[in-house]
Structure 1
Amino acid sequence: MDSLPDDLDRRLVIATQAGLPLVARPYDALAAGLGVTAEEVKARLAAMLASGRIRRIGAVPNHYALGYTANGMSVWDVDDARIVELGEAVGRLDFVTHCYERPRALPDWPYNLFAMVHGRDRDTVLAGVAEIARLLGSACRGQDVLFSTAILKKTGLRIGGA
């Protein structure tokens, strides 16, 4: 298969950019709509993932609809020499949905480690944040929690129809 995108790759991206079909066999449904086999759909998606043309295929839950209405982005000022080690440890916690490093914006924003904590109430989120603080220990020089106040539509880049 050619490593450059072609018309089928473009049509596949357009067909999946709003999500996979909510059916038992989504790749079969995509294949039928595109006039190819499910194996070709899977191979094309795998190639686009491998090349970096798409970043991921995954579920994007609506936390509010699932009852998780207290959502806090915890932000941490941690030792740069340990950020990879500490970020991986924080990211393994079962109540952290995503964890990543970001550059500081000194002097106003000293935080370089971000970890999203979802909970059914603020006390649950704050308990998770306290657990992160214990895990980080003396490597943490400061922290804060920013609670969500609105639901924002989460979408990636969209391209026009074929």
Structure 2
Amino acid sequence: MLKLLAVILFPVMTMFASDLPSKKYLNLANIKMMVAAAEEKAKELNVSVTICVVDESGNLLFLEKGETASLNTIQFAQKKARHAAFYGNPSKNGADTVKSGSVEAMSFPEFFPNQGGLPIKVDGQILGGISASGAKSEIDEQIAQAGIDALLKK
């Protein structure tokens, strides 16, 4: 009787396992490729920045402070990347929200109103966030975008 139950349930159990969705994630090769492109863009623009990559939950995957970037960029880069990952939109949207008078947004978890962080999205799925900090905000965002562009061209 037990063998018969096992024979009946085994195909059902394996069927459910095969129906599980596959989840995309940032592996080390992807991160290195994105960072290399961001570093190249920073070099091209002649700026020293801190570059940060986080996963979709805001966990730190990569952080690199530029040689002459100020110490506060370490915190700023992480906050920008986390904002982008948490909210699925550029950290510039946070700055625009505050500028429009919605200062209550400052109390939201991981909210950071400063341009330079971008969500990493592949096939509509948020994989994390990438940011740069240390130059003008528009330049920081260009550097982060170079990293995303490299990933999407792959």
Q: Normalising by the residue count of structure 2, what TM-score does the alignment of the two structures yield?
A: 0.28
Q: Normalising by the residue count of structure 1, what TM-score does the alignment of the two structures yield?
A: 0.27
